[in-house]
Amino acid sequence: MVHCHYFNQSWEIRHQIAVGVIKGLEYLHFGCKTKILHYNLKPTNIMLDGEFEPRLADCGLAHLMPNLGRAVSGCIAQECFQNYRYTEKSDIFSFGIILGVLLTGRDPMDPFFEEASYGGSLGHWLHHLQHAGEVQEALDKTILRGY
């Protein structure tokens, strides 16, 4: 489980993780003979090796129809629940949530988001802070050390 490894890492390591994840998605979407959609990209499905190089895990759903009605990772685009249609753009939405986790150090399933009055998700919280001109409040303070 990689989620706990995101926290207390430098910006350089978090950047390396983000770049590795998007390269993995690029390979699945464009490098394979047949396009593969991940369907279940979330922090706990990103494994890190000893050098913090990410590996995408749990691609098993890519071979099955996803049961999106039961998905609760906090990383799946809402339109997937509404029309049960999942595309490569849905994987990119999930990657955006991964970026949010890397930048904020917050778990997308944190009860904090459910209790919030602005929508109840990491994405809605970031959107709210952006419109309030307070984006810097979202940043994990540990990545600001040394800057």
Give mean pLDDT, residues 27-43: 88
Q: Quickly state the pLDDT bin for 16 (edges 50, 70, 90).
A: very high
Q: What is the pLDDT of residue 114?
A: 77
Q: What is the pLDDT of residue 75?
A: 65
Across 20-24, 74-78, 82-86, which has the greatest mean pLDDT? 20-24
Euclidean distance between CA atoms 3 and 69, whole angstroms = 23
Q: What is the pLDDT of residue 109?
A: 84
Q: If we measure between CA atoms, which residue out of 80, 4, 105, 96 comes closest to residue 41?
A: 96
- φ, ψ (nearest 5 deg) of residue 85: -110, 125
Domains in the chain with CATH codes? 3-106 (1.10.510.10)
Q: What is the pLDDT of residue 101?
A: 93
Which tokens sit at 127? 């959107």
Q: Quickly state the pLDDT bin for 24 (edges 50, 70, 90).
A: very high
Long-range (24+ apart) CB contacts under 8 A made by 5-13 are 5/48, 5/52, 6/43, 6/101, 6/102, 6/105, 7/105, 7/140, 7/142, 8/142, 9/52, 9/142, 9/143, 10/143, 10/145, 11/143, 11/147, 13/52
Given a cut of 60, is residue 128 above it in pLDDT?
A: yes
Indicate the pTM of the whole model.
Answer: 0.80
Which tokens sit at 5? 């490894």
